[in-house]
Amino acid sequence: MHFSDYLKSVQLLSEEQFLRIHAVPALIFCSQTENFPDSDDNKKTDAWLEHKTVFFETSSETTNHKTIAFLRKSNRNPFKDFITVGRAANNDVVLNKATISKAHAFLVQKGLMWQITDQKSSNSTYVDGNKLEPLQPYHLHDNSVIRFGFEVQASFYSPNGLWSYIQIYQPEKYQKLFSNVKHLNKNLSAFGDL
């Protein structure tokens, strides 16, 4: 499903309905091929992201591609408390790129917080530009930018953060809101003359 189709499917939901449906965090992946090294490894793979809960958007003006993967546990591996990320097919989030390790990283919820841990990957994991030490957990927050190796970049969003993020794609909601505010201000101004 295209990312734009996904946005259309949630645009009529209230925040409460959205949060009931999307109770888990998400990674929004962005590939900007002009910003990554041009290596032979990059040319060997066609699909850069495979996952059952992925949505894809292509913009005609740019080479940016966006997908979204919800951090739900699959039945593809025995690690019940971890959301695994890597090139191997048994990961919860499969990134089909030669520069991604078979078992690249994993995410885990600790209380209300989420953490990511690099699993001694060949090309490292970075959060907000900081290289992660292997096997050392790193706390994530909304809009944390995660880079898996050289080619794959994602932003982390909690359910509330994802709700806020998708609002920027729904300007008609804001136009209606601002129209109502302008109308309210006009009415309040009329009372000021009393």
Distance CA 155, CA 56 (A): 15
State pTM to two decimals: 0.72
Asked if residues 163 and 19 have their Cβ atoms less than 8 Å apart, the reply is: yes
Strand 138-140 versus strand 113-118 pairing type: antiparallel
| pLDDT tens over the chain, length 194 residues | 456 667 778 888 899 999 999 999 999 888 544 333 333 443 333 333 333 333 333 333 332 368 888 999 999 888 889 999 999 999 999 999 999 999 999 999 999 999 999 999 999 999 999 999 999 999 999 999 999 998 999 999 999 999 999 888 776 655 555 555 555 666 666 666 55
100/138 Cα distance (integer angstroms): 19
**Cα(175)–Cα(181) distance, integer angstroms:** 10
